[in-house]
Each structure stands twice: as C-alpha cells, then as structure tokens.
C-alpha cells in the first residue's frame, strides 16, 4: 500500500529555538537553506555535514567549481598513489620479515638439533660406561 505525505513548507514556521525532533530540523533546513548565512547551532549533528558541504559547493562560481574539481581530482590521484605505495611497502616488509624469520628459525633449529645430538651422544657414552669427566672432554 502506498501512502503519500504532503508537506506544505510555507506553513512550517518554527524558529530554530523550537526545533525538537530530527524531522523538525530537516524541515527547518529545507525551508531556510537559501537564507542561512551560517550553520545554526541546532543543526550540528553529523547527519547535516554532507548537506552543508554540498550547499557550499553549490554556490561556487564556474571558476571556483572548476578549481574545486581539479583539486579533488589531484587529491584522489595523490591518495591512490600513496595507498598503492603503502600496500607495496607492506608486502615488501612482510616478505623481508618472512625471509629473516625463516633464516633465524633455521639457525635456531640447527643449534637445537646439534645440542640434542650432543645430549643423546653423552647419554649413550654414559650408558656405555664412560666417566662423566671423559664424556665432558668430547663436548
């Protein structure tokens, strides 16, 4: 079922001080946007940020609008380049870190394996009756 709600904007006459609900605030903005010189205190919610930014851009001259779009394009290009470089840097960093980690792990594994082998040999020497002093001379 479709319902239509009609608003008669000329009949909305609440002043800024009487705005209570978000609906009141939106009606106030729509009714008075063309005459507002600055953003009213009652309309400081984040939901109105984009509206007021768009209203500022809408009143630019042709030259200002052209400069704005050129600046926005430059910013987006720069942002894209920086984001790509950051991603590449992170990938290179991860790759280097992985290589260093693997190398360190290999060295530690070899050292641990060597110590375990020495321990096993020392245990076998002890089992074979060799004295602790004689076993210690081999290590």
Domain ranges of the chain: 11-59
Instruction: Name the token pair of 10.
Output: 């000329």
| pLDDT tens track, the chain, 139 positions | 899 988 888 888 899 889 989 999 999 988 888 788 788 888 888 888 888 888 889 889 999 999 999 999 999 999 999 999 999 999 999 999 999 999 999 999 999 998 899 888 888 888 888 888 887 777 6
Burial state string for 84-100 with b = 16 or more CB within 10 A and e = fewer than 16: eeeeeeeeeeeeeeeee
Say if CB 44 and CB 22 are below 8 A apart: no
Please state the separation of Cα 115 from the chain's center in Å: 46
pLDDT value of residue 69? 94
Residue in the block written with tokens 């309309």: 43
Q: How far apart are CA 109 and CA 117, in angstroms?
A: 12
Tell me the pLDDT tens digit for each residue of 73-108. Answer: 999 999 999 999 999 999 999 999 999 999 999 999
What is the maximum span of the chain, computed from C-alpha positions, in angstroms? 109
- Number of Cβ within 10 Å of residue 42's Cβ equals 17
Say if CB 138 and CB 128 are below 8 A apart: no
Residue in the block written with tokens 């076993």: 135
């Amino acid at each position: 079922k479709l319902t239509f709600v009609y608003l008669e904007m000329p009949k909305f006459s609440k002043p800024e001080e009487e705005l209570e609900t978000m609906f009141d605030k939106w009606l106030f903005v729509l009714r008075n946007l063309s005459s507002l010189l600055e953003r009213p205190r009652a309309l400081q919610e984040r939901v109105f940020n984009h509206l007021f930014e768009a209203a500022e851009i809408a009143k630019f001259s042709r030259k200002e609008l052209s400069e704005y779009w050129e600046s926005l394009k430059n910013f987006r290009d720069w942002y894209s380049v920086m984001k790509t470089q950051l991603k590449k840097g992170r990938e290179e960093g991860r790759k280097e870190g992985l290589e260093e980690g693997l190398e360190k792990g290999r060295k530690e594994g070899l050292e641990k394996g060597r110590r375990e082998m020495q321990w096993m040999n020392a245990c076998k020497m002890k089992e074979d009756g060799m004295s602790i002093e004689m076993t210690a001379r081999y290590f």
